[in-house]
Amino acid sequence: MRAVTLPDGRRLEALLRGASSGPVVVVHHGSPGSALEIPALEAAAAARGLRLVLSSRAGYAGSSRDAGRDVAAAARDTAWLLDALGVGRFATMGWSGGGPHAIACAALLEGRCAAAISAAGPAPYLPGELEFTDGMDEENVKEFEAAIEGGAAYESMLAEHRDSILAFVPTASTTARDLFGGLASDRDNDGTTPEEVAGVHRSMAVGLASSIDGWLDDDQAFIHAWGFDVGAVGAPVSVWYGDHDRMVPARHGEWLAAHVRGAVERRFPDEGHLTLVLAHPGEILDALVELAEGAW
């Protein structure tokens, strides 16, 4: 793990994986989460000569909090991180809560971001235009209803969820449903290994080890103005989503594909929230390379 001091004095943690040289792919983790290994993605990157930069967003793990941040702030932090690492052009992918942050890079770092993929990422919160929680499992519905209300009850809910995540101990037979309950669709439950579930849990537990700050700030960033216009994104973007997703339902992917300028839509009728990425790491990287069209 590498710690970088940003120009505003905050600290950002980053993990460098994949090939030792070559084009860079920045990976934005889910909510909650942190910069931890995704073995299948790392192996696929190494095989393709790609370097991975995984960073813990502000407020997660050892990365300093940026209270009140919007989604756009991730593009600024990404640019600062890559400056410190001596990286110029890059492509990016965001999984789940990382999706909006990958799109932010495509929108705000157009001259530097060669391409972006949002995989199972949420759309903006737009009451009257998009029913944000329709199709989500009850746990996510309650979380976002509480996030919209805000206040002590909301923070208490996140703290209780954090305690449950930290207390969870994966075993050799752990399933996605053991960890996520009803948030895991049948496809997610049947299509992931205990090792993969343990890896996702480890990312969440490390991200939340010290506080709920990153999770709270992510939720608030999602339900408030993102800080950029998705209709004015300049870099190539592809939107991936699965029909068996109970965390971020397919309607979010449909909305993004229809509203992000020039977006390439990839719908997976047989995939869930977890399997969308865990079952297709090489395909995601190949799609990024194709989108970038040698712009690295």
- The Cα–Cα gap between 74 and 76 comes to 5
Pairing of strands 237-244, 90-95: unpaired
Which portions of the chain are predicted below pLDDT 50? none
Instruction: For residue range 146-198, list pLDDT tens digits in order.
Output: 999 999 999 999 999 999 999 999 999 999 999 999 999 999 999 999 999 99
CA torsion angle for 54, 59, 64, 67 (degrees, to 10)?
130
Say what the pLDDT of residue 157 is.
97
Q: CA 227 to CA 214: how far, in whole Å?
A: 18
Question: How high is the pLDDT of residue 296?
Answer: 77
Q: What's the residue count for the chain?
A: 296
Here the tokens at position 136 are 């989500």
Residue 25 has what pLDDT?
Answer: 98
pLDDT at 37: 86
Q: Any idea which fold 2-292 has? A: Rossmann fold (3.40.50)
How far apart CA 258 and CA 295 sit, in angstroms, is 25
Inter-axis angle of helices 213-223 and 152-167, to 10 degrees?
A: 130
Name the residue with tokens 């190494």.
46
Cα 86-89-91 angle, rounded to 5 deg: 120
The reported pLDDT for the residue numbered 51 is: 97
Contacts of 233 (CB under 8 A, 6+ apart): 103, 106, 107, 110, 260, 261, 262, 263
Nearest to 57 by CA among 97, 90, 20: 97
The distance of Cα 224 from the centroid of its chain, to the nearest Å, equals 17
Please state, in angstroms and rounded to a whole number, the distance separating the CA atoms of residues 25 and 151: 37
- Domain extent listing, the chain: 2-292
Q: What is the pLDDT of residue 294?
A: 76
Instruction: Give me the pLDDT at residue 232, please.
Output: 95
Instruction: Please tell me whether residue 258 adopts helix, strand or coil conformation.
Output: helix
